[in-house]
Structures are given as C-alpha cells and as structure tokens.
Structure 1
C-alpha cells in the first residue's frame, strides 16, 4: 500500500503547470486577484474595527458589559485562536477537497459569524463570535494563498502575493475611518454605531462572494487528484480567453511533469515531508511568522490605548491616526513587492525584517525618552511598518511556495497557526497589559520584544531563505506525487 494514499488512480503526464506559468498577465488574472485577494481587506477591517472601537465598547451605554482590556486582550486573543484553529481545520480540508470548495465555505463562515457579532447582547456572545469570525478568516489564509500561488505565473507570483497580503491594510484604512463615523454620537447612539461597523464587513463579504463564484479550481490540484482531463480543459479555456484578449497566439509551454494521481495525502507524510525533508525551510517559516506576529501585536493591539493614555488623544479620532499608519503599511508591499521578484527573496525578506526591527528599537528609544507626540509617534510607526508589512506579507508567500504542492495548504495553515499562536495569542494578552498600564517603560518593553524577534527572523532568512523568484512551484519543491523524485532538500 502506498504511503501517499491507497486510492491511487493513474499515472499522467501533463504540461498544466508550464502552461499556466507562461501566460502573460491578463484580465483573467485580475479576476483571480479580485475574487481571492480581497479577503485580506475583510481581515484588516475586522482587526482594525475592534482596536478602534475598544474604548467605546467599554463605555456605559454601549450595550455590552465589557472592559477595554477584555476587548484588546481576551477578544483579540480569541479572534487569533479562532484563526489558528480555522487554518488547521480548513487547511487540511483544502488539500483533501480542493481550493474552490473551501474558499467558498470559509467565506460563508466569516459572513455568518460577523453578522452575529454585530448583534451581540453580552460579553460572552461577543467573545464566541469573535472566535468564529477568526475561524473563518484562518481558513481563508490556507485556501486562498494556495489557490493564488497555483494560478499566478511564477514571474509575477512574488509581487502579486505581497500586494494581495498587503491589502489587509486597505481594510484597515476602511475600518479606521468607518470607526470615526460610527463612534460619532451625533450620528449614531453609542449602542448602535459599533454594530454598524461589523455589518459593513458582512456587506463587503457578500460582494466578494459574488465575484469569487467565478474563480475556478486550481488545475494543479485537479491533475494530482484524479481530475487531469478537467484540468486540461480548464487551462485550455483560460488560454483561449488570454489569446483573445492579447490578439496573438501564446508561446509554447515548457517541460511536462509526470505524476501518480492520489485522492489525498496522509497527514503523517505531510508532517514528515515538512520537517524531515525540508528542516531549514521549516525553521524559516516558523521564524518569519513568529517575528511578524509579535511585532504587529506590539503595535496594533495597543495602538488606541497608547494614543489615548500617553498623548491624550480622544477615542473618537484615533481612527484617523490608524488610517495614516495603515496607508504606510499598504505602500510597503505595493512599492517593494516587485523587488522580491527582481532583487530576490533572500535579500528582500532578510532586509525588510531586520530593518523594521531596528527602526522599532529606535522608536522605542524615542518614546521612552519622551521625544515623541501623537503625530511623530504615528510617523515613526508608518516608517517601521512600511518595511515590516512587506516582510510580513513575504512570510505567507514563503511558506506557500517552498513546500510540495500536496502539502501547500496544510503547510500554510501549520506555520500560520504555530507562529501566530506564539505571537498572536500570547501577544495581545502580554501587550495589552503592558500598553494599558500607563507606564512608559512597559510600552517600551512591548516594542523591544517585537523588534528583537523581527531582527532574529531576518537573520534566519539570511541563511535559510530560498531563491524562489521567477521559478515554477514544481522546481522550488518537487510534488510528492511526481515520479522519479529524489527526495526533498533542506
């Protein structure tokens, strides 16, 4: 009996990967980007809204008996715990049943949980549905990153993946500005405004669902899972659309690949492949996720509290400050993304991680010395996160392209879950206490923890990052189902 799966179907030779990788950029690729990539806008909206409305939720008349620390600490940790759990559950299902089925299901979970959050009548209800909202978003990470990397040509993969992941911050801008409007008591009562911010997430999600219905299954997943004929037909249709748009025939596809089809891959083999065949890549993935999770939690979950406590900024206008920081975050992947495909993965990943960590150390020193005000503090955060956002986005790109295709969604889910659990569950609990204490040295410590882990991850990337720029996925990591493979690489 095969270690891969006892339900072997056939051995097929195909040029599907080469045919997809030689496609020029087209309207079809834009449809994929819009249909799949916009989920990060929803995630950005979710995280930012909660941070921006934390002060209002804890005020009398909000309709919830909840404290500021519970919103920025417990609720944030539950959201991340849900995301980690959802990534693992849906990541496994994505590898088993396909990308398309799961990216429709996960969006449905998000929509239902967000709608129920909007009608929260007690703290426990709010906590429960923050967890379930995260559960849906976590599943999105595994399903969406898998599909994007398998549908986007290799020469564009780095910049597209970074910009898509960076679009989280477009949602953050929307959430920040929306919170300013929703928290204006001259427009909405205190118990209504914050609910409308979650309701908007539902509306955006429904729009995305309409577009996403037209995004196809990954042909790469299909030909390995016994659906080679469908994969060939799908790629032929894509080629027809692209040729019609460009008005010229496509160049010849490159090399073919021969695989033994399987319906599924055992979980044990996935774990053995990731950690035994690719140990250096596993260390790299964990380092990148832990570093970025701690840095972002050091800043974002205490953002509003820092401005209010240390700079006397009103809770009704913190959204403006966060919107400025969010724009800086989006500009990072937007302007630096191309360099990950041209200069290369190793220098750009290592450089963005180390530089953002050093800049955060500098910000901590200036803050501790009392040399910053609300505006200059926000400016410092913008500079730090310009580089950190590109680095954090590259973490998702990295783990989605450096492991064999059969393990892709599960690898994304695992590294996201472990790295984010370390920084994203413990982070809010630790940092909310530090930043809400009102003691300057505590907030400085929070910044230094995030900065140190970011620098450490960058150093790991110097030695372990993979030169994946411009390469087909099958060259970066040979599929487990491919015939005549010689095993993995470190």
Structure 2
C-alpha cells in the first residue's frame, strides 16, 4: 500500500536535506575506501608492509561491508530506519580516530573491518529511508544521487591525499586517516533529528506516529483514516521472511540486484583502492601525480552519473542499465593492450569507462529498494550489498597479485569479462519500474500489494527491449 501524500508530494526542502544527509554515507564510503589507497604508500614504507599485508588492509573494509549489509539490513527492517540512522555514523567517527593510533597490520585489518560493517549497515538504512520518503517521479534520480556521492567522496580523498603528501610527504598518512573522522562527525550532525519512515511505521501499525512524522516533515496533516487504510493493507499482506529472498521471483530479483551490483563495483573498487598502483603500471606514477590521476577519474565518474540521473526517470531503468553495461566492456578490452598503450589512450579509456558506468551506478540502490516490499526492503538492500562485496573484496585482494603476476593488460581483460557478465544478467533479469509506486514495483507479477484482481495488472512489470 502506498501513501499518496508522500508519493505525489512536491519536492521540498525536507526531501533535499534528507537526500544530502543520506548521501553522506556513500560519500564516506568512497572517501574511506580511497584514502586508504593513498595512505598505503606511507604506511608500507613506515610499517614495512608486505604485498599480502596491503591486500588484507585493502580488502578488510569490503568484507566488513558484506557482514554489515547482510546483518544490519534485517535489523533495520525490525527496529526501524531512524533507530540505526546515526549509530553507524558514530562508529565511523570512532573507527577512523582509532586508525590514527594503530601500529600493527592486524589492528588496521580489524579497524577497517569495523568501518566496513558501519558502511555496510548504512547502505540499507539510508537508501530505504530515502526511498520511502521521496515522491515517485523523483525516486530514481534522488536515489541515484546517493551513488554519485560515492565518487565525490573518492575524488575528495585523492585530492586530500595528494595535498597532504605534497606538503608533508608520505609520513602524513596518519593525518589522512584522521580526516575521515572529521567528515564522519559533520555528516553525523547533519542526520540528527531525521524523522522515521511513515511507510515503515504504517507497516508496523503505528499510524499515529506516521501521521506525526508526515506533519513534521511535509507540513501536511493526513487524515488518520487514510493511514488506517494503508496500515490495514500492509497488515493484510503476507509478511515476508529473510528466506523469501531466496525463493521464486524474489530469488531472481535478489540475484539480479546482487550480481549486477557486483559486476559494476568489482573492477571499480579495485581501481579505487589501488588506483595509484594501476596508473603507475601504465607509466603515470611520477611523484604523487597518480593520486591526481585517480581524482580525475573519480570526477569523470561523477560526470557520467549526471545524464544517467535524468535518464532513469525519463527513459527507464532497463534500457539505461543494459546499454551502459554493453558499452563499458569496450574501453576495458582496449586497456587489455597493457603498458605498451600510449598514455593518451589509457586516459581516454579510463575516462570513457567512467562516463559509461553512470547507468548501472545510479541504479545500484534504486533497484533493491523498488523490487522488495517494506518489511524486507532494507534486508534485500543489505543482501544485494553483501553479494556485491564478495566480488569486490576478492577483486581488491587479488588485484595487486594479478598486476605482479599477470600484468596490467590481462588484469584489464578480466575486468572486461566481469563487466560482460553484468550485461548478460541485466538483459535476462532487469525489470522496468519507472514512475510506479513502491507498492506496485515490489508486488509479485500477477499480484498487487492490495491483493485484488482488479489491481493485478499494475503489478506486472514491462520489460521493453533495450
């Protein structure tokens, strides 16, 4: 059941503030995962880290995201979005501060794992909260902004790392890690006072609280009878359990969301964590200039997201994701030529890949929030995130090994193969959800959330050819 007062509301200052507050989590994710790639240069020299140590430190956060998404998504569906919304940011502040004082490899691995858990928790918390508050016609774009903020955070990390390294040398790596605590504290303050999702409250039968939340956020008094109808509809729907994500149509949707997400970020996370090392393999590693090169690529990723933000709500989700994946394969295949390629070709290929990746990027959190009902929405988002991080963690761990044993060309071709799998998954399973309410998009084919025969056609998804 949807709430018309939310689905049809005009975009307001509350929606914009909520979007930026929710985007703070992905921003910190991009920042924290990228700043470690810059800091590793100084860390390795001072702490005499081995290649294996670097791989463990680089992959620990991704393993933490897997655990955090898998566990805290379900907790968010049970306890509420608001209850978890600020706790995870507090963990980011504490974990970043403690990283400044770490001296052993195992300490960094543990702290990066904890930071990853907090980030993994934030994905289903923030995205489900935003999805349940924003109007239908703006949902794809606003959820896409959350993903875009990841790249902004990554670019900021490389710029900050470059400036610190140029001013104070590689020995400033501890200050680089400390900068994450400052940013986390700022975003934590921005989130204080955010109201609970009315859709979650209605799902739990708390109609009076939902009425107060809507009044507080949108300045509109919704008749309690309208919310009682919505609550009755939610209560009449069979309550899904976590196991339902792995059965029937929900299994297909779970696999789709997790696999396309994984194929999108496996090459990307490896690129960001070890961006300077990759650019150095192509001959772009003089001094600290590789950090600026990584920042440039991050900015291009942001630019690639901008047209995709408009297209997902105008053209539709399915054509955007299928065409983007298909075209993303091309520059990675060209990069398979290895270190013999002209520098100009390398930069053009990386920038082309970054521009084209905007499609699947802005849909990473849109699809999981649209394809599953309220009582398992955050759980599904967490599971999708966890599936994606299996590949991301493996790719991040194996990338330095692949660079040293297989070479840069073969490594890029492996990335092209992973991207091709993302295209195949999208062609087979991507559904069209543009312009529909969450009640309609999350309904199983042939059955509406209200369960009436008259509404059944609305629950079916169109699947236009790309």
Q: TM-score w.r.t. structure 1 length?
A: 0.85
2:312 counterpart (317, 336, 340):
340
Show the counterpart of 2:56.
Answer: 74
Show the counterpart of 1:10.
Answer: none
Show the counterpart of 1:429.
Answer: 397
> For the structure 1 residues 190 and 348, does the alpha-carbon distance in structure 2 shift closer, same or farther, using more than 3 Å as the test?
closer
Show the counterpart of 1:409.
Answer: 378
Deviations 1:395-427 (CA, angstroms, capped at 9, x unpaired): 221112111111111101111112221x11211
Show the counterpart of 2:428.
Answer: 463
Show the counterpart of 1:474.
Answer: 439
Alignment of 1:83-482 (within 5 A): 83-184=65-166, 187-188=167-168, 190-191=170-171, 193-240=172-219, 257=230, 259=232, 269-311=241-283, 313-365=285-337, 367=338, 370-373=340-343, 375-421=344-390, 423-437=391-405, 442-478=407-443
Contact 2:85–2:126 (8 Å) recurs in 1: yes
In structure 1, runs of 5+ residues without a counterpart are 1-13, 244-252
- Larger relative helix fraction: 2
Show the counterpart of 2:14.
Answer: 28
Contact 1:100–1:217 (8 Å) recurs in 2: yes
In the comparison of the two structures, how many residue pairs are matched?
450
CA distance in 2, matches of 1:50, 1:65: 16
Cα distance, 1:203 vs structure 2? 1.0
> For the structure 1 residues 51 and 189, does the alpha-carbon distance in structure 2 shift closer, same or farther, using more than 3 Å as the test?
closer
Contact 1:40–1:164 (8 Å) recurs in 2: yes
Runs (4+) off by over 4 Å: 253-256, 479-483, 485-490
Cα distance, 1:131 vs structure 2? 0.8
CA distance in 2, matches of 1:113, 1:358: 39
CA distance in 1, matches of 2:234, 2:433: 26
In structure 2, runs of 5+ residues without a counterpart are 462-466
Q: Secondary structure at the match of 1:40?
A: helix
Deviations 1:195-254 (CA, angstroms, capped at 9, x unpaired): 11122111111111111013211111011112111102221333327x9xxxxxxxxx99
Q: TM-score w.r.t. structure 2 length?
A: 0.89
> For the structure 1 residues 190 and 260, does the alpha-carbon distance in structure 2 shift closer, same or farther, using more than 3 Å as the test?
same
> For the structure 1 residues 189 and 329, does the alpha-carbon distance in structure 2 shift closer, same or farther, using more than 3 Å as the test?
closer
CA distance in 2, matches of 1:23, 1:357: 40
Cα distance, 1:69 vs structure 2? 4.9
CA distance in 2, matches of 1:165, 1:265: 32
> For the structure 1 residues 210 and 302, does the alpha-carbon distance in structure 2 shift closer, same or farther, using more than 3 Å as the test?
closer
Deviations 1:411-444 (CA, angstroms, capped at 9, x unpaired): 01111112221x112111221201244xxx5322
